[in-house]
Amino acid sequence: MKVLVLNGSPKKKSDTFRMTEAFLEGLNRNQDHDIEVVNVIEKNISACKGCFSCWMAGDGHCVINDDQNHILDSMCESDLVIWSFPLYCYSMPSHLKAVLDRTIPLVQKNMTTSEDGTIRHEALADLSHMNTFVISGCGFPDFEGNFEPLREMIRHCFCSSQMVCVPEAPLFNILEAASVADSLLEKFKKAGEEFSANMKLSDKTIAELEIPMIPKENYLRGVNTNQ
């Protein structure tokens, strides 16, 4: 299986990507997958100009000459695309959002009605073989009012993809929290093994991955007293 990982964190020591690395370790336990990791912050990817020249060309590429076309080609070749990123203003970081915005060369101008009644652009590339998985961490201690906007965006953009949202991600950089952080990383490793076997995670597994590592009151106390 060919796997493309889009690492959207702007930091080298990324809380979210630690979870993704553990997931990949489990996913590729038997070393039988071809995994490409793209650190998006290191790439030259401009914002979409909205020129729609890609639709006129119809070749699945963007007319802007930067690193995006390599990502588009890799997407079309991949069986699994993992979007890994920290929550930024209830969405994804701007440099990764530019990647998402510029996937429009993979669709056509013509529109069609999907099975759920949503109007969508017709596909240009055959992506029926491609699965999408999203891992996002945030610095808040819970989900209420935080991940809902992102979940809605992902639902529309990736349709049947699965998503894991993890609160309290900064605990991965706190030495005193190593025991609970390491326990969660082990769960991500096992989740990767499960995904490799089934090409999806059970609802139970996702729920276990999303459980806050420590009680909200303790997390808030630690954040507000260490400034």
CATH code: domain 2-225 is 3.40.50.360
Q: Quick one: pLDDT at residue 186?
A: 98
Distance CA 38, CA 33 (A): 16
Reduced to 3 states (helix: H, G, I; strand: E, B; else coil), residue 23 is helix
Sheet with 162-166: list strands edge to edge.
34-39, 2-7, 80-86, 131-137, 162-166
Q: Say how far residue 1 (Cα) sits from the centre of its chain.
A: 18
Mean pLDDT by 10 residues, the chain (227 residues): 96 91 96 96 96 94 96 96 96 97 95 86 88 96 87 87 95 92 97 96 97 93 79
Q: With contact defined as beta carbons under 8 Å apart, do 200 and 193 qualify?
A: no
Residue 116 per-residue DSSP state? T
Q: Quick one: pLDDT at residue 223?
A: 87
Q: Quick one: pLDDT at residue 41?
A: 97
Q: Quick one: pLDDT at residue 227?
A: 54
Distance CA 227, CA 221 (A): 11
Hey, which bits of the chain come out as E strands? 2-7, 34-39, 80-86, 107-113, 119-123, 131-137, 162-166
Question: Could you state, in order of their start, the residue ranges of all structural domains in the chain?
Answer: 2-225
Distance CA 56, CA 122 (A): 14
